[in-house]
Amino acid sequence: AQKITQTQPGMFVQEKEAVTLDCTYDTSDQSYGLFWYKQPSSGEMIFLIYQGSYDEQNATEGRYSLNFQKARKSANLVISASQLGDSAMYFCAMREGRRSSASKIIFGSGTRLSIRP
């Protein structure tokens, strides 16, 4: 069985600072995918970044980067130069098995990030 763990229920960060949101996972699959989503108070799920288990380089998307440490089974999200608009819930998620449209994606418990002006 797969599992996603986010140990930080909430975080406060000063604007313009960098922040790391932790995520560890557990799976017996060799092929899997890791995601980070942002959920503002409106409820929509906004895709941020993806890392495949066979990707050798850490994924980056603008201010977002994923610190992928396969041996430790961790996939931490790093947000550089945080902005007030970054305040939201952040979910780490994992797709099990081969990349296909039928593969389930399960979510961690989330981290509520609050940016202080």
Partner 1 sequence: GAVVSQHPSWVICKSGTSVKIECRSLDFQATTMFWYRQFPKQSLMLMATSNEGSKATYEQGVEKDKFLINHASLTLSTLTVTSAHPEDSSFYICSARTGVVNTEAFFGQGTRLTVV
- Nearer to partner 1 (CB atom), residue 57 or residue 117: 57
CB 49 within 8 A of CB 91: no
**100 is a site residue for partner 1 (CB under 8 A):** yes
Interface residue with partner 1, options 32, 35, 68, 90 (CB under 8 A): 35
Binding mask 38-77 for partner 1 (x = CB under 8 A): ----xxxx-x--x-x-------------------------
Q: 3-class SS at 72?
A: coil
Q: How far apart are CA 5 and CA 25, in angstroms?
A: 6
CB 75 within 8 A of CB 67: yes
**7 is a site residue for partner 1 (CB under 8 A):** no
